[in-house]
Amino acid sequence: MNYYLDIETTGLDPLRHKIITIQYMELERNTAKPVGPLKILKEWESDEKTILKKFISDSGVADKYPFAFIPVGFNLPFEHNFIWQRCMSNALQPVDILDRPFLDLKTVGVIMNKGEFKGAGLDNLTNKPQSGKEIPRLYYEKNYGEIEKYIKIETESF
C-alpha cells in the first residue's frame, strides 16, 4: 500500500530533537488519492516512544513484505533519519523506511525549481501558506491546535 508520510519535530537534529507528530494516510496506488483517513499520532497526548510504537505496529512499515508500506513524501531521508534515530533513543527496534520501494517528491521539487535545491521546499512549490519552521515554537508554546491545522493544510497541499 502507498502511504503519505510526514513527521513534525522540535528541530533538525535527531540526536537532540524529538518527533512530535507522525502523520500518515493510505493512498490509492494509481491515483495517489486518499483512501483512508489522515492519522496523526501526537506526542503531546502520550510520549514519543508511544507514537513510534503505534506507527510501527499499525502502519505496516515493519512488515517483511516490502509493498505493505510504500512511503510517499517530500524529503523522505529526513523522516528516515529521525524515525531510525528516535527509535534507537527510545530503545525500540529501528525501522528503515528506505529499504523498500518509496517515492520521494523532493527530486521533482528540485526539477520544478530549475535544478536548485535552495527554495525547493514543499511550501515554495505548492499553495501551502507556510513552512514548518514555526512548528517547534508552536510546540513549546503548547499551541497544539495550530500544529494540527498546519498538518492538515500541508497534507491537502501535498
pLDDT tens digits, one per residue of 6-17: 999 999 999 999
3-state secondary structure 38-89: CEEEEHHHCCHHHHHHHHHHHHCCCCCCCCCCEEEECCHHHHHHHHHHHHHH
For the domain 2-157, what is the CATH code?
3.30.420.10
Tell me the per-residue pLDDT of 95-149, one tens digit each, with 9 for 90 and over.
Answer: 999 999 999 988 887 888 888 888 777 666 666 666 788 999 999 999 999 999 9
Q: pTM for the whole thing? A: 0.91
Rounded to an integer, what distance in angstroms lies between the CA atom of residue 39 and that of residue 46?
Answer: 15
Mean pLDDT computed over every residue of the chain: 92
- Residue 68's closest CA among 19, 2, 138, 143? 2
Q: What's 17's DSSP letter?
A: -
Q: Where are the domains of the chain?
A: 2-157
Q: What's 37's DSSP letter?
A: P
